[in-house]
């Protein structure tokens, strides 16, 4: 089998892929399929992480209105006030 050496930009994009994926050109034509080579340790960590998140709960929360949230400056001010009052 021949091989292809990729540059750092493509490496960064492929690094987080955990399952087979199609690679397409800008026009949508399939160029090939990439199947990552994962160690047993990587697979175990991925499965453990999967058990820590409830995707249905995340979707439910995304649909629920919670206002506009807080800016990082507001959060930092609140944390700073907690330090001084503690």
What are the Cα distances from residue 18, in Å, to 23, 41, 47, 80?
14, 13, 11, 39
pLDDT in tens, 4-61: 899 999 899 888 888 899 999 999 999 999 999 988 998 898 889 888 888 888 888 7
Torsional class of 67: left (φ above 0), alpha (ψ -120 to 50), beta (otherwise): left
pTM for the full model?
Answer: 0.48
C-beta of residue 24 within 8 angstroms of C-beta of residue 31: yes
The model's confidence at residue 65, banded by pLDDT at 50, 70 and 90, is low
Q: How far is CA 8 from CA 5, 23, 38, 46, 66, in A?
A: 10, 17, 19, 23, 39
The residues spanned by each domain of the chain are: 8-81
Instruction: Give the whole-angstrom CA distance, residue 19 versus residue 21.
Output: 6
């Amino acid at each position: 089998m021949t091989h292809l050496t990729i540059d750092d930009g493509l490496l960064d994009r492929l690094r987080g892929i955990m399952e087979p994926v199609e690679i397409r050109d800008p026009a949508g034509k399939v160029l090939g399929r990439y199947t990552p080579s994962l160690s047993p340790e990587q697979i175990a960590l991925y499965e453990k992480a999967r058990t820590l998140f409830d995707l249905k709960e995340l979707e439910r929360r995304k649909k629920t209105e919670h206002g506009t949230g807080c800016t990082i400056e507001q959060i930092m001010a609140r944390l700073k006030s907690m330090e001084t009052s503690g």
